[in-house]
Structure 1
Amino acid sequence: MHKFFPIQLLLLLLVAFQVSAQNPPQFQIHSHNDYLQTVPFWTAFSAGASSIEVDVILKDGKLMAAHEIASIDPKRTIESLYLDPIAEGIENGLISSINFHLLVDLKTEAYSTLEVLVESMKNYEDILYSTDNPDGLKLIISGNRPTSEDYKNYPAWMLFDYQSKELSTDLPWAKIGMVSLSFRQFSIWNGKGRMVEDQRVKLQNFIDLVHSFDKPVRFWGSPDSKSAWKAFHEMGEDYINTDYPIDAADYLSKLGENVYQNTSKHEVYQPKLEVDGAEVPMQNVILMIGDGNGLAQISAALFANDNQLNLTQLKNIGFVKTQAADDFTTDSAAGATAYATGEKTNNRAIGVDSEGNSLNNLPDILDEYGFSSGVITTDQLTGATPASFYAHHPERDNSDQIAAYLPKSKLDLFIGGGGDSFASQAENLENAGFNLVEKLEPTDADRIGYFAARGSLPKKLDGRGDYLLNSTTFALDFFEQKKSPFFLMVEAANIDSGGHANSTSTIVSEMLDFDEVIGKVLQYVDAHPNTLLIITADHETGGVSIPQGDIASSTVELAYHSDDHTGIMVPIFAYGAHSGDFRGVYEISAVFHKIMKLVEKYHDN
């Protein structure tokens, strides 16, 4: 046997080790015409394929791996491409277990070809299935086969591919390894969109029939796309036929993460719309930022919540271009700084311009107009978005330096995680007049600070509960008591985390949590018609799209182009006083100037 592996095989084997170390997948792949892969066998093995196909032609007493005589290469035999690598892989410990079979598609006459195959396999008896080696390699014979009556005459390691719609109890099931048919016998679907229902039912019925005999099923000539792989997986096809085993395995292995069914729906508030867009004196501004929250994220939450959201009740909608001063794709620091100061800055910079000079932010500026201000976040308070409304520092990760700005800020309220970062600032915060509370309850304090966690807050699905809703409700009551105009920034930070992690469940659950808070704020605006509500995002995260879903079951599948921010425009929604001013398409920094134009119109400094 050969003892040398080309370098590309070794590289693929590294991937194979990763696959074999994982839990067994909930799907099985058939690597169709595997011998045509650049690296036969190892490509399929690295993808975790359970079924690996090789076409075989008997030529001059040898079993050539080829589809027709014209394509025969003397170096490419079933032994050289498959049996030798498998034997050597087992010997070298590269293959820890045989959790696959070879589907051998005979292109020449069955009996003579099998005679040579049986003889050749005597050289590999130590790796073959037998009663003494129940974990050994099995071969399933397809293509030209002997009559079913003769299946019993072949060794235990040899099974057969049965190819007929006619199934009965008197078939030699003990020697049938799988049932295979052409997909075109059931459907003409091309793998795009959805299969026609009556064709899908015919296919499903046949799958169920094969399973009633406790045998696996495969369809050749089937569509080879993500939509098709998902459909066949959901229908229970045992060996999903593909020419792209690595791509198919990667997609199917992530279905559990990419598909999410929401079981926690909330009622949607119907805004009165009586004051929406009215040119009445603007007293209060509430800016709600869904970090990383693009149109696909909003759509996913919509479809997972009975096709309705509080957010989608709004009529005044625009789009924001999010680019930073130094980069096409912004980060949260530059994005939030643009909202807070009206100037674009470099990525990673908080509250400073592109030259590093401090910029006045909305709480600083609005203090001169008699406004109170507050920030609420599901992030740590040194996080880029909340920090941009009180700090001035060129590097977002310098949490100690950022924390030192909070006592100097004009904020009257802060609520968020990350209390440990402010341990050295506790005395300064108290000296600045902040009452650092242990829980949110009615108070007559003039300034309030609440560290909801020493470090990061949990995600919604990990037990955060109604923290954001309760915090926002407390803040609205707090500012109501102060009887002065106010500015409040509310950040839902973990939609962004879901985008970075490509976690559909995180994106949807965090967006729905955000939407519940939006409903509460809409009620507040209806009761306080001089309030302007703005809801937007700092950027989109994940390059998210929605290839499939089911509104009836509140299920969505998300796909991801990236695990980072993107330059896609983000939607902006407005409600209440002068909300119509926020229609259109404009730069992210323009939101600040639109707010300030209204402040200057109705307030004196």
Structure 2
Amino acid sequence: MITPRRVLAALLAAVAATSLATAPASAHERGVRPLPRAHSHNDYEHPRPLHDALDQGFTSVEADIHLVDGQLLVAHDLADTRPDRTLESLYLEPLRKRVLANHGVGVYRQRTSFDARFPAGKASTEFQLLIDVKGDANSTYAALEKRLYDPRYSFLFSLYAFGHVQKRAVTAVISGGRPKDVLLGQKFRLAFYDGRVKDQNDLGIGSDHRLTPLVSDSWSGLFTWTGEGPFPAGERAKLHEIVKSAHAAGQRVRFWATPDADGPARDALWKELVAAGVDHLNTDDLPGLANFLRAR
């Protein structure tokens, strides 16, 4: 159980950690301009989990976790888990080192490039760690909470406390097996909820953004267009309405299962997503999306 004492310890750790003297960020890290729309789908399947995405400027990465003998192991399927590939080793520890190297400023030292979603002169520096829970939602989330509240890592994560959100370098969002009732009942937490667009029985568009800052759904479950030929007018209007409604509620939008094969069809679909204001473009092709976004 996460007690008020542990919350206080997490807050004190945040102050202490950001004041530590640490090695400066490398020249390469300083030179990477973050891309506010870039989301690395199944990030752990890349040769260098997290680091390959950071090298390309991605501001959102996805890690699937399984609770195995008390450890949070990262893999898509349980059969592929390995004891050395833990959430801590692949994500929490590298993020900790990165933020401390930037003196607590964030995962990136540079600000994000201008984006139409933000007022002139402002930019988002938020980094999202999307954690897809596999297996039992409640027990896995309980184990995840212990990691998030560990003073070694707690200073990293955006905090919800008694109705208020304090943004920090990393925002942890729970997807997959989401313990909705547990999260709804918490007065303080270091994790948030990934809602759904089409499921009316879930927390979706219009729900409290302090709990559900992100709404996601399958592109193929909502749309038929895959980038070939003209975008049907009705589907374009539907896409824009989804994004408009989510943004009005203070929420971000992501679609998975978008076409991801290099070529004109993918570029056409990505252009429509950007034009509609979709916040996270989902890809396994890190250089492909980075080049597309920087070219724009």
Superposition map of 1:4-83 within 5 A: 15-20=28-33, 25=35, 27-83=36-92
Matched residue type, 1:86: L
Partner Cα distance (2:205, 2:104) in 1:
37
Give 1:108's aligned residue.
135
> What SS does the corresponding residue of 2:213 show, helix, strand or coil?
strand
Q: Compute the displacement of 1:38 (Å).
A: 1.1
Q: Compute the displacement of 1:91 (Å).
A: 2.9
Question: 1:152 touches 1:175 (CA, 8 Å); kept in 2?
Answer: no
Matched residue type, 1:160: Y
Question: 2:155 touches 2:168 (CA, 8 Å); kept in 1?
Answer: no
Give 2:263's aligned residue.
none
Task: Answer yes or no: is 1:204 the counterpart of 2:240.
Answer: yes
> What SS does the corresponding residue of 1:237 show, helix, strand or coil?
coil
Superposition map of 1:590-605 within 5 A: none
Superposition map of 1:211-230 within 5 A: 211-224=247-260, 225-230=266-271
Partner Cα distance (2:242, 2:72) in 1:
34
1:120 to 123, 147, 163: 147
Partner Cα distance (2:70, 2:228) in 1:
44
TM-score (norm 2): 0.73
Give 2:190's aligned residue.
157
Partner Cα distance (2:78, 2:234) in 1:
40
Question: 1:129 touches 1:157 (CA, 8 Å); kept in 2?
Answer: yes
Task: Answer yes or no: is 1:245 the counterpart of 2:245.
Answer: no
Matched residue type, 2:288: D
Q: Deviations over 1:61-118 (max 9, x none)?
A: 1101011111112111111110011112223349851331100000111110011011
Give 2:4's aligned residue.
none
Give 1:173's aligned residue.
209
Q: Compute the displacement of 1:192 (Å).
A: 3.5
> What SS does the corresponding residue of 1:58 show, helix, strand or coil?
strand
Larger RCO (CA under 8 A, 6+ residues apart): 2
Question: 1:151 touches 1:160 (CA, 8 Å); kept in 2?
Answer: no
Give 1:6's aligned residue.
none
Question: 1:35 touches 1:54 (CA, 8 Å); kept in 2?
Answer: yes
Greater Cα radius of gyration, structure 1 or 2: 1
Q: Deviations over 1:112-134 (max 9, x none)?
A: 00110111221312322347974
Q: Deviations over 1:122-173 (max 9, x none)?
A: 131232234797423220000001125743417442111001433565x343
Partner Cα distance (2:103, 2:57) in 1:
13
Task: Answer yes or no: is 1:135 the counterpart of 2:171.
Answer: no
Question: 2:205 touches 2:245 (CA, 8 Å); kept in 1?
Answer: no
Task: Answer yes or no: is 1:233 the counterpart of 2:274.
Answer: yes
Name the CA shift for 1:243/1:94 in 2 (closer, same or farther; >3 Å).
farther
Question: 2:213 touches 2:251 (CA, 8 Å); kept in 1?
Answer: yes
Partner Cα distance (1:236, 1:71) in 2:
36
Q: Which ranges in structure 2 are unaligned for 5 or more consecutive residues? A: 1-25, 108-125, 261-265
TM-score (norm 1): 0.37
Question: 2:205 touches 2:215 (CA, 8 Å); kept in 1?
Answer: no
Name the CA shift for 1:149/1:65 in 2 (closer, same or farther; >3 Å).
closer
Q: Which ranges in structure 1 are unaligned for 5 or more consecutive residues? A: 1-12, 256-605
Q: Deviations over 1:359-405 (max 9, x none)?
A: xxxxxxxxxxxxxxxxxxxxxxxxxxxxxxxxxxxxxxxxxxxxxxx
Question: 2:195 touches 2:215 (CA, 8 Å); kept in 1?
Answer: yes
Partner Cα distance (2:205, 2:293) in 1:
32
Question: 2:156 touches 2:169 (CA, 8 Å); kept in 1?
Answer: yes
**Count of residue correspondences:** 238
Partner Cα distance (1:150, 1:44) in 2:
29
Partner Cα distance (2:248, 2:100) in 1:
38
Q: Deviations over 1:538-568 (max 9, x none)?
A: xxxxxxxxxxxxxxxxxxxxxxxxxxxxxxx
Q: Compute the displacement of 1:204 (Å).
A: 2.1
Q: What RMSD in Å do the two structures reach over aligned CA positions?
A: 2.4
Percentage identity across paired residues of the two chains: 30
Name the CA shift for 1:74/1:179 in 2 (closer, same or farther; >3 Å).
same
Partner Cα distance (1:38, 1:168) in 2:
35
